[in-house]
């Protein structure tokens, strides 16, 4: 689908209602963390990532993972300390960087959850005069190692260690562009991240967000085997319309929505991979038949990806929003 210039007549934002505290020992939240509705249903009962089921709000369609009674390190990774999906190619990163060209050449760009800084490394060829910084979140032993290596390798000009929410008071008004590639999916509070991004941007600066859309037809077709449900660190899957309404409420103006460019080839091939992983819970080399199925599935993904990107089967979105007024 071609990129869409955002309409000025966005729907009115609907803020969350106050949430009641979770009952002790419960595996799911008592209400939707996005809109506050208590009308929930279990979307995916068991994923390949340890943790509680994925819940869906019947009112706003927000998908989220509820807290577990006994959290494990694998179930709830620290915010900003999860690796990004590795499927993104340098070509896709450069395309994302080019999406900002119509809005002027930025002097400074902050990549949130930058990890090994693959995006800034690719984006420098599109914006050679831009200073690229990164937020490398997490605390404790080993935290920040990726950012330190990226800085030493010259992929980043500066690395900020911690979470964006923590760092925002020190970064206020410093950046022309701020990017979040599936970052909102892995943090405890996506709204807090968007508010912090608004604070870090200069007036007139732009926020670039890419995310997986749980209302896509791909998600409906593949059901429980849709790949984003099983990504490590996934806590929230935000429908595109919900994100646009929230951005407007926080003092952003959405200037571009592009589903075609953000689409990822995570279709039948990824579903086959997930199915085989479920059937082979222990590590080991797949059988010849399994390897054949994997190869066929991945080939089908590559063939279908360009077609899906031009239809309602796009599984992701790219939203660019301009920082305007103070948060509401």
What's the pLDDT tens digit per position in 253-298? 999 999 887 656 655 555 555 555 555 544 454 555 555 555 555 5
What's the pLDDT tens digit per position in 195-241? 999 999 999 999 999 999 999 888 888 888 888 888 888 999 999 99
For residue 226, give the nearest of 186, 270, 256 by alpha carbon.
270
Please give the average per-residue pLDDT across 129-150, as a whole number.
74
> What is the model's pLDDT at position 257?
94
Residues 254 and 283 in one domain: no
Question: CATH number, domain at 251?
Answer: 3.40.50.150
> Residue 275 domain-assigned?
yes
> Residue 96 domain-assigned?
yes
> What is the model's pLDDT at position 300?
57
> What is the model's pLDDT at position 152?
77
What's the pLDDT tens digit per position in 52-76? 899 999 999 999 997 654 444 443 3
Q: Is 132 helix (H, G, I), strand (E, B) or coil?
A: strand
Average pLDDT, the chain: 78
Residues 182 and 291 in one domain: no
Residues 290 and 217 in one domain: no
- pTM exceeding the 0.85 threshold for the entire prediction: no
Task: Find the domain containing 282 and state its range.
Answer: 268-307
> What is the model's pLDDT at position 58?
96
Judge whether residue 48 has pLDDT over 60.
Answer: yes
Residues 189 and 288 in one domain: no
> Residue 71 domain-assigned?
no
Residues 96 and 212 in one domain: yes
> Residue 214 domain-assigned?
yes
Residues 97 and 215 in one domain: yes
What's the pLDDT tens digit per position in 156-179? 999 999 999 999 999 999 999 999
Residues 214 and 130 in one domain: yes
Q: Report how many domains make up the chain.
A: 2
> Residue 106 domain-assigned?
yes
Specify whether the CB–CB gap between 318 and 99 falls below 8 A: yes
Q: Tell me the C-alpha distance between 328 and 317, whole Å.
A: 24
In sign, the C-alpha dihedral spanning 78, 81, 86, 87 is positive
Report the alpha-carbon angle 165-87-135, nearest 5.
Answer: 20
Residues 245 and 301 in one domain: no
> What is the model's pLDDT at position 147?
72
Residues 174 and 291 in one domain: no
> Residue 59 domain-assigned?
no
pLDDT band at 303 (very low <50, low <70, confident <90, very high): low
The residues with which 110 forms a beta bridge, in sequence order, are 133, 178
> Residue 119 domain-assigned?
yes
Q: Tell me the C-alpha distance between 183 and 92, whole Å.
A: 16
Residues 97 and 114 in one domain: yes
> Residue 239 domain-assigned?
yes
Residues 100 and 222 in one domain: yes
Q: Determine how β-strand 175-181 pairs with β-strand 108-112.
A: parallel
What's the pLDDT tens digit per position in 240-252? 999 999 999 999 9
Residues 217 and 135 in one domain: yes
């Amino acid at each position: 689908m071609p990129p869409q210039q955002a309409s000025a007549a966005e729907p009115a934002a609907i803020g969350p209602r106050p949430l009641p505290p979770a009952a002790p020992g419960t595996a799911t939240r008592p209400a939707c963390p996005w809109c506050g509705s208590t009308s929930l249903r279990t979307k995916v009962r068991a994923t390949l990532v340890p943790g509680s089921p994925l819940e869906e709000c019947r009112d706003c369609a927000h998908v989220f993972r509820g807290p577990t009674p006994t959290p494990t390190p694998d179930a709830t990774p620290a915010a900003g300390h999860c690796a990004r999906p590795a499927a993104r190619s340098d070509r896709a990163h450069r395309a994302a960087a080019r999406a900002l060209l119509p809005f002027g050449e930025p002097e400074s760009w902050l990549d949130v959850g930058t990890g090994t800084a693959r995006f800034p490394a690719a984006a420098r060829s599109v914006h050679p005069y831009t200073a690229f910084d990164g937020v490398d979140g997490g605390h404790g032993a080993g935290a920040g190692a990726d950012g330190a290596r990226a800085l030493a390798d010259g992929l980043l000009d500066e690395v900020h260690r911690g979470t964006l929410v923590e760092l925002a008071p020190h970064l206020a008004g410093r950046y022309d562009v701020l990017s979040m590639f599936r970052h909102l999916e892995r943090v405890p509070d996506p709204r807090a991240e968007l508010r912090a991004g608004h604070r870090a941007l200069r007036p007139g600066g732009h926020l670039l967000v890419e995310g997986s859309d749980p209302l896509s037809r791909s998600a409906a077709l593949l059901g429980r085997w849709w790949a984003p449900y099983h990504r490590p660190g996934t806590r929230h899957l935000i429908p595109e319309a919900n994100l646009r309404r929230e951005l407007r409420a926080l003092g952003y103006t959405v200037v571009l929505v592009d589903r075609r460019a953000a689409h990822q080839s995570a279709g039948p091939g990824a579903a086959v991979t997930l199915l085989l992983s479920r059937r082979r819970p222990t590590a080991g080399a797949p059988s010849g038949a399994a390897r054949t199925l994997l190869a066929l599935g991945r080939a089908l993904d590559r063939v279908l990806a360009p077609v899906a990107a031009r239809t309602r089967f796009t599984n992701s979105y790219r939203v660019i929003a301009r920082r305007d007024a103070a948060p509401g």
